[in-house]
Amino acid sequence: MTANAHRTIDAALDDAPVFYPTAEEFSDPMVYLSSIEPKVRRYGICKIVPPPGCAPAFNEDAWGRDTERFDTKQQHIDALKEGRTFKFGKEYTKAEYTTAAIEFDKQFSSLAGAGSEAMERRFWDVVETQSEKIAVDYGNDLDVNVFGSMFAATSDGLRHPWDLGHLFAHPLNLLRVIEHEIAGVTKPWLYLGMRFATFCWHVEDHFLCSLNYLHRGASKTWYGIPGVDAEAFENCARATVPHLFKDAPDILHQIITMVPPGVLVQHGIKVSRLVQNEGEFVVTFPRAYHAGFSHGFNVAEAVNFGHIGWLNFGQKAVDVYSKGAFKRNAVFAHQRLIVDASESFARAYDIARASLQSKSIGALTSALRKEMERMLSDEQYFRASLVRRGLQLKEVKPHADNDDVCCVRCKAIPFLSVVRCRCLPTAVRCLSHAMDACSCEPEHRCLEIRASVHQLSNIILRLSHASARGANHQGTRETATTPLSRTPAHGKDAESIKSEHAPLGTPWTDEELMQLVKGIKIHNINLKSQRESRAIMVISIAAMIPTRTQTQVQSKLKKFEGQVRRMTAERRAQLGIEFTPNHADPRVLESKRAWEKRAVNTGAGEVKRQKTQGATGAWTDEEMKTLVKARMDHGKNWARIAAELQTRTLEQVARKCNNLRRDLIAMDPARRPSYVMPHLEEYFVALERRDRHE
């Protein structure tokens, strides 16, 4: 390897893809952007050249309004590798900045008329070797509400489809459900650059995509790293300039560091390059680090967007913000965006009548449904776990207070549920950090639920209808199921789904009763348990029975114990009630005396009598190891499990199996049987699936 192998100008950089859409393809930006992503994924960035005559016009009126002054950032190009915080440069009006940029160009007469390669060579020579001292003023992040958007209206007075200020409202842009304006994210920013003005390596907030349009002026050179190499880039940056990360762990978020692409390539990181000219768009895709510099005076505008390909990255960004080496505040509540977008799409079956959009709606609603299912699963697990630990339960209306308050521990913005405590009533914690940040006892902490399990499940059900409708638009038929494996009737709208609840007083069907019994078994909560636990069970079971409201489920549970007592054995078997009820709960086993007398048919023969004496005291680790394996092998055949254990009575085995989830969760993770580690919840999911098909 030569001494100059690490120099950027000599490095083997890939050419980022360039697209030339037809007029028809260019007519819908979100559909087109989604369609090209698979081809761009391995590069991270790409360029789009509008069809002839289709480029947005420049807003001369907005440019001519030149009364407002703006701050700039002073950049020392020879010090970009050092990660220095940019100081404020001079203040300018747009006209003053234009004049200053043109005058600055005159200092580089040797570059007059030079191509992009010569410009790039000079730039990296200054950055990498500090061959000369160069300072520039960069007018970045200018509010279009103040300085005006440079997108002009079309000849018929309408907004251009690729007007970045209009992109926010596109039906397939997930960010459109954010109610408040976020500068640079939902509202474009304006950028005024001069020669060598630099945007250093960074990734967009929440790993979103970005769309940048060069309105007029000199070209820009861009560098991109695909999202799959984002962590490799971060590790390389830390290794290259460790002293910068030691002093400022969040230095990459400050957008002040320019690691030369040549160094990155030397470390095996894929870097692509493109040159953006006037009238061209550059797109960055999820978690793609990008950087670049201007060749001279130019005017650009940029905004973020969220499409179907971003969904898998959104939660990852929240996790990185909250669990990474350093904490940073989220810009918006990711959970709220997913819920609001899901509700919006669930209502809007006919959102995409046009042929281009109709090909996207089914895929987007299906992707949202998967995100909702994941969120619902997490919520059910954490809520039940916290209630068992003694937290008080409180249901509140969504948006009843400030929903965009960050968790005091991890800086994420929880939305579906938050935890408050007595000593810090205004502070919130996400469910992952419910017990952190203070010493309050569990009973002095309150779990506030803003969206019930029933509400979330209903959204998922309606998304299933919407995704099926979207599939029908494409001439295909998608099998859309909810997490409860209920197949919705295609074609029903939101209002008809709401009306599916049975009127009060309507007798319960066998199917509804079987779902009720199944829900009681799944949640393993005594009917006479504390109020908070029963409330969790009610909202969860109601989600399993779309034809019944929470009130109807709660009323039925109060009467169900007595009704089960009066049922015949055949009727109980028909409904899936496997054990004779006692004074407390229709799910629990018969009394010890009854079990000691009972002969159990194991399928291989009849066990005449089980041991009446077993070990006493806490279960040993070895017993737990045998139990969890036998429970999966033999299902609910307590006799076989007891025979395999040989140290416990039939009744002890049955009781332990009924409380297995609770006991394993409470157990020290280091002592849990290896059979259920490291994915405890996957064991219970598999167990439930086995019991269902037993």
User: Of 352, 374, 353, which Cα lies nearest the Cα of 364?
Assistant: 352
Same domain for 272 and 210 = yes
pLDDT band at 399 (very low <50, low <70, confident <90, very high): low
pLDDT at 600 over 90: no
DSSP assignment of 165-176, as one string?
HHHTT-TT-GGG
Tokens (6 digits) for 570? 């055949």
Question: Closest Cα partner for 264 from 305, 232, 303?
Answer: 232
Looking at the domain assignment, is residue 489 inside a domain? Answer: no
DSSP states of 432-500: GGTT-SS---GGGEEEEESS-HHHHHHHHHHHHHHHHHHHHHTT-------TT---PPTT--HHHHHTT
In tens, the pLDDT along 114-172 reads: 889 999 999 999 999 998 999 999 999 999 999 999 999 877 778 999 999 999 988 88
CA 17 to CA 272: how far, in whole Å? 9
* pLDDT of the residue at 91: 96
Size of the chain, expressed as the number of residues it contains: 694
Pair 222, 355 in one domain: no
- List strands edge to edge, sheet with 298-305: 18-19, 45-48, 281-284, 209-217, 298-305, 189-193, 135-143, 73-76, 87-88
Q: Is residue 384 one of the residues assigned to a domain?
A: yes
Average pLDDT, the chain: 81
CB–CB of 398/210 below 8 Å?
A: no
pLDDT at 596 over 90: no
Average pLDDT of the segment spanning 487-492 = 31
Phi, psi of 134 (to 5 degrees): -135, 130
Per DSSP bridges, beta strands 600-601 and 606-607 are antiparallel
The secondary element (H helix, E strand) that includes residue 225 is strand 220-225
Per-residue pLDDT of 62-90, as tens digits, reads 998 888 999 999 999 999 998 888 999 99
Q: What was the pLDDT predicted at 659?
A: 84
| 271 occurs within a structural domain | yes
**Residues 376 and 253 reside in one and the same domain:** no
Both 241 and 388 in a single domain? Answer: no
Which residue shows structure tokens 């009820």?
A: 581
* Residue 478 is assigned to a structural domain of this protein: no
| Percentage of the residues of the chain whose pLDDT score is greater than 90 | 40
CATH code at position 254: 2.60.120.650
Residue 613 lies in a domain: yes
What is residue 357's predicted lDDT score, i.e. its pLDDT? 53
Residue 611 is predicted with a pLDDT of 40
pLDDT digit string, tens, across residues 353-367: 444 455 667 788 888
Same domain membership, residue 277 and residue 360: no
Pair (584, 609) in one structural domain: no
User: Quick one: 289 and 380 in the same domain?
Assistant: no
The per-residue pLDDT for 294 is 97
Predicted TM-score of the model (pTM): 0.69
Total domains, the chain: 4
Query: Does residue 491 fall inside a structural domain?
Result: no
10 Å Cβ neighbour count for 324?
A: 14
Question: Is residue 581 scored above 60 in pLDDT?
Answer: no
Residue 638, pLDDT > 60, answer: yes
Do 647 and 610 meet the contact criterion of CB atoms below 8 Å apart?
no
DSSP state of 674: G
Q: In sequence order, what DSSP letters do the residues of 322-372 get, joined into one string?
A: HHSSS----SS-HHHHHHHHHHHHHH-TTTT-SHHHHHHHHHHHHHHHHHH
pLDDT at position 157: 75
Q: In this structure, is residue 534 part of a structural domain? A: yes
Q: 374: domain range? A: 336-455
Average pLDDT of 178-191? 93
**Distance between CA atoms of 390 and 229, rounded to whole angstroms?**
43
Q: What is the pLDDT of residues 438-479, one digit of tens each?
A: 888 888 899 999 888 888 888 888 887 766 655 554 544 333
Distance between CA atoms of residues 635 and 678, nearest Å: 21
* Model pLDDT, residue 530: 42
| Final residue of a structural domain among 455, 488, 519 | 455
Same domain, 122 and 219: yes
The two three-digit tokens of residue 102, written as one number: 């043109």
Q: Is residue 481 part of a domain?
A: no
Handedness of CA 152, 157, 162, 168 (dihedral sign): positive
449, 395 Cβ separation under 8 angstroms: yes
pLDDT tens digits along 23-38: 999 999 999 999 999 9
Cα-only R_g, the chain: 31
Last residue of a domain, one of 455, 486, 514: 455
Strands 45-48 and 18-19: parallel
Residues 274 and 420 in one domain: no
User: In angstroms, what CA-CA distances link 6 with 245, 275, 345, 375, 590?
Assistant: 22, 21, 49, 45, 76
The pLDDT value given to residue 86: 93
616 has pLDDT over 80: no
H or E stretch including 39? Answer: helix 29-40
User: 603 or 257: which carries more pLDDT confidence?
Assistant: 257
Write out pLDDT tens, residues 415-436.
999 999 888 888 889 998 888 8
Residues 571, 663, single domain; the answer is no
Same-domain check for residues 296 and 343? no
Q: For residue 527, what pLDDT is reported?
A: 45
Distance from C-alpha of 47 to C-alpha of 282, rounded to nearest angstrom:
5
pLDDT at res. 531: 43
How far is the C-alpha of 365 from the C-alpha of 363, rounded, in Å? 6
Asked if residue 634 and residue 568 are part of one domain, the reply reads no
Q: Which of 71-85, 286-300, 318-332, 438-452 has the highest mean pLDDT?
A: 286-300
Of 573, 588, 603, the one marking the end of a domain is 588
Contact 402, 180 (CB under 8 A): no
